[in-house]
Homo-oligomer: A and B are copies of this chain.
Amino acid sequence: MKKKIFIGIFIVFSCFSLFSYENEISDSVVEGSVVLADKTEEINIMWLFLCTVLVFFMQAGFSMLELGLSRSKNAGNIIMKNLMDFCIGSLVFFFIGYGIMFGTSVFGLFGKSKFFLMGSDPSEMSFWMFQVVFAATASTIVSGGVAERTKFVGYLIYSVVITGFIYPVIGHWIWGGGWLSRLGFYDFAGSGVVHLVGGLAALAGAVMIGPRKGKYTRVGDKIVVKAILGHNLPLASLGVFILWFGWFGFNCGSTLDFASSSISRVMLTTTLAGAAGAIIAMVITWVVSKKPDPSMSLNGALAGLVAITAGADVISPVMAIVVGLIGGALVVGSVELIDKVLHIDDPVGAVSVHGVNGLWGVVAVGLFSSDPDKLGLFYGGGFATLGIQLLGVVVILGWTLSTAFLLFFILKKASCLRVTEKEEMLGLDISEHGCESYSGFQIFTNM
């Protein structure tokens, strides 16, 4: 019996040990995976860091593009606008913008916490960084549309308002857990939130400020449209390359997760859409005006990139080419429409590139999405996805146009919007900043 008892105890003990061991094992496994989880967060911060710096660099891209497509006498002003909308924008976004966009939601309308990034952990801080460069992108898009005639102080005020209010509110609705996102509206990396908002604000600005002197002249009862050439195509092209480079961060980073299986796909669709946009813009200008136009081809590339941004992770590579092709065609058409028919003076094509194609990008999700959760029209999803995407477009249009027009209207009333004719002729560099951008160079300025 003793033996039996012994055996019994032994067995029980061994089972216990087995049991306790099981705990130990699973503990250590848990520990193992805890270690893993830890690294995951750090790696993710690294991922966001990488994408953030790429998107940050887009500021340089926008700056070079706008510089290149406008006249030399305003180059210093363009530099200041592009530098300052980031600098001011990032402080404003730190103080209030981020809180409105990502704070605890009040009825899905706006956020009400996280101002000054109070109580943020590293992950949140890296998320803020990623968001602030997006906000700055939305803001800087406008710069090109109102270039060469806007009072500097007016531009600064504008940039406070867009990064502190206009952008964060719509951003909250779509990305911050607000009502639109709850309805299922999908905007992966910001064709709508960033580009359409920026493009519409540029439209409002361009309309309220009016065209540059000499752009449209009435001859008899016909309005003659004059081309005002950009002064530095090499810089403009550099800008586009920088933007494309940054766009990889913009789109791929929007997964917010280095472990997302979409990253490769997003790179691929982004590349193909941009390429297709540039090619088609070149082809159209080639056919229409007999010569392939560099500045329009550059815009075409950007158009393709903007267009794929909303659906970069849910549109197939081949369809991304289609989206890009349409985007490139849209930019050529709408630049002509806006300039020759509507007589709105948009020096760099910001409205066409970001506005028109931002809109197209949002709609394209509704047409081409192959994601089972939100199938597009052409993938058998009927009008469900498309409908909500269109609703989103309407909402963005309504919100942005109303607030932006109001803003620019007030600025106009306050005489903060436009420089005098004389200052415009002299160039904003001298009149607004007392500087010369190309000291020594002999530059012929007869406009």
Which A residues fall within an 8 A CB radius of B?
3-4, 7-8, 10-11, 14-15, 17-18, 21-22, 25-26, 28-29, 32-33, 35-36, 38-40, 42-43, 45-47, 49-50, 52-54, 56-57, 59-60, 63-64, 67, 71-72, 75-76, 79-80, 82-84, 86-88, 90-91, 94, 116-117, 122-126, 128-129, 132, 152, 229-235, 237-238, 240-242, 244-245, 248-249, 252, 258-265, 267-268, 271-272, 274-276, 278-279, 282, 289-295, 297-298, 301, 317-318, 321, 432-445
Q: Which residues of B contact A272 (CB under 8 A)?
A: 90-91, 94
Q: A47 and B45 in contact (CB under 8 A), knowing A238-B60, A438-B231?
A: no
A-B pairs, 3 with minimum CB distance: A60-B241, A125-B264, A229-B439
Whether A282 lies near B25 (C-beta < 8 A) is no
The answer for the CA separation of A49 and B42 in the assembled complex, in Å, is 16
Main secondary structure of the interface of A (DSSP, over half): helix
A334 CB, min distance to chain B CBs, angstroms: 20
The answer for the CA separation of A343 and B240 in the assembled complex, in Å, is 36
A47 CB, min distance to chain B CBs, angstroms: 6
Instruction: For A86, give the chain B residue with the smallest CB separation.
Output: B275
A234 CB, min distance to chain B CBs, angstroms: 5
Knowing that A39-B39, A53-B245 are A-B contacts, what are 19 other residue pairs whose CB atoms are under 8 Å apart, sorted by A's residue number?
A7-B11, A11-B14, A25-B25, A26-B28, A36-B36, A42-B258, A42-B260, A45-B263, A49-B252, A80-B292, A87-B275, A90-B271, A91-B275, A91-B321, A124-B264, A125-B268, A291-B434, A440-B445, A441-B441
